[in-house]
Amino acid sequence: MSYISETLSTVLAVDPDADVLDYQDTWYSWAQLAGSIAAISGLLDELGLGRDSRIGIMVRNRPDAAAAILAAAARDCCIVTINPMMPKEKLNPDLERLEVPVVIGEPDDFDRDGVLDVLKKAGSAIIETEPFLQGAHFRDGFDTITGESIRTTEPGTIIEMLTSGTTGTPKRIPIKRDSFVSAITGALAYEKGRSADDKPRLRSGTELLSNPLAHIGGMYFILTGILSGRKLCIQDRFTVEGWHHAIVRHRPKIAGAVPAALRMILEADIPKEDLESLVALRSGTAPLDPEIVDEFLRRYDLPVMGTYGATEFAGAVSMWRLREFRELWDSKRGSVGTLTPGVEGRVVDPESGAELPAGDEGVLELKAGQIGDGKSWVRTTDRAILDEDGYLFIKGRADNAIIRGGFKVHPDDVVEILHKHPAVREAVVVGIPDKRLGSVPVAVLMLKDGADEPEIDELKTFVKERALPYQVPVQFKFADDVPRTPSLKPALPLVREMFLDEAA
């Protein structure tokens, strides 16, 4: 048996009657979860789909999707993530391209306009989950695999993960099974009282999942949480009210939220006593403004520990330990901690590739068992600093630079400046085409509750006093929010369209 299948079968049998998943304030037991996993696995048996088989899953933050993920992972299958929240203009072409032998989802997912037609043409089977971990069944007329061009297997791959499409068109990235297991076991060293060779057991406390399962962080969370015997509270999506309710209901010690969500939590001004169970928050998926961390410390004495990772890395590769954060945040302000065990990093000159001294900014390269071939340095798209103590500072993306008349503008540098404005809750900066200069920066601003819109000239002066002239955005827009990916990161192509449509 593989690590995942053996660990899962053991932990499911520890105490079947105990609670494991809380969804919409209703608890579901390990026995219910095991029964749904077994039902899905039995149907996959009928289809003859075992190790390395490609299993399409309509991924929602619900117990039934979690059961489907666990069933596929335990069989050492390849999970092909499908985002059912996409509009039909994107979902149907995506399904048509996948050519998977089977798709698992809720009945409503398949009742959407055109979905059944696409899957019938592809020749895919359909497994429908029954709500609230009641089992699963074949969709009428879709109990066999009939497609001639079906791509049945993807050897050695555990997930074909659909990226969020933050900077461009979403694409699938294959994550190797060995790499993912390495990422899981490597991260165990960062949790107090737990190590990779622990015998599976049920653990006290409940962890909160509000990040999307369609994102690598959510997928990683559900697998590590269940395999380590954790109780999990699953939320359909992040809302401040839902997050606040879950914290009060479950009193967790650690919870997570992406930077955009952290800003919303601060703005909601949640009473300090409601968060008193927490000893720390974790945050990832996007750059974390140190001002957010400082404000949580001032208001709640609550550390916010940034992490760094990517889909290609099978999860986080750098993070803080709580004790180190408490001791070193003032001197390492803005860091995402140190690299996890087994991960090596270096910073290089983007042009020559030469390694730079500690403390110099360049492009980050990584080497680890779960990255690439596990032996070679892999260049990321992130600007970074590694200091002399091994603490990593992410300065922004290197691949979304705006070239304005020959000068390079990094949007994250401008965002950092705009976040210092007293009226600004969140800023997004993108580049748009310009006939004379090639490309110019523009900004969308979301204001704090009750703040008046600043004058445009005042905003330009504010940036100019803290940056170089070519970094100043040529246009500013105010909005309640911007288009976002499932992980709440700004969807930059759609933000760019806010300006291009007006120009057209």
Cα–Cα distance measured from residue 16 to residue 39, given in angstroms and rounded to the nearest whole number:
16
| Statement: residue 503 has pLDDT above 80 | no
Q: Which of 164-168, 263-267, 419-423 has the lowest mean pLDDT?
A: 164-168
Q: Which of 33-37, 199-203, 311-315 has the lowest mean pLDDT?
A: 311-315
| Statement: residue 109 has pLDDT above 80 | yes
Segment 263-316, tens digit of pLDDT:
999 999 999 999 999 999 999 877 788 999 999 999 999 999 999 987 777 778
Cα–Cα distance measured from residue 42 to residue 257, given in angstroms and rounded to the nearest whole number:
36
Mean pLDDT of 327-333: 97
Domains and CATH numbers, the chain: 3-12+24-184 (3.40.50.12780), 307-399 (2.30.38.10), 402-503 (3.30.300.30)
Type of residue found at 213: L
pLDDT band at 167 (very low <50, low <70, confident <90, very high): low
pLDDT at 16: 97
Average pLDDT, the chain: 90
Q: Are 58 and 84 in contact (CB under 8 A)?
A: yes
Percent helix, percent strand, percent coil in the chain, to nearest 5: 35, 25, 40
Residues 6+ apart with CB under 8 A from 66: 21, 33, 213, 222, 226, 234
Cα–Cα distance measured from residue 216 to residue 175, given in angstroms and rounded to the nearest whole number:
10
Residues 6+ apart with CB under 8 A from 212: 59, 61, 218, 237, 486, 487
Q: Which of 76-90, 96-110, 174-188, 481-495 has the highest mean pLDDT?
A: 96-110
Residue 391 has which token pair?
């603490």
Segment 425-444, tens digit of pLDDT:
999 999 999 888 889 999 99
Whether pTM > 0.85 for this model: the answer is: no
Q: Which of 28-42, 152-166, 192-206, 334-348 has the lowest mean pLDDT?
A: 192-206
Rg (CA), the chain: 23
> For the chain, first and last CA: distance in Å?
59
Where do we find the tokens 């949790």?
191
Beta bridge partner(s), residue 442:
430, 475
pLDDT at 196: 56
Q: Name the packing angle between helices 290-300 and 259-268 (round to 10°).
A: 40
pLDDT at 198: 65
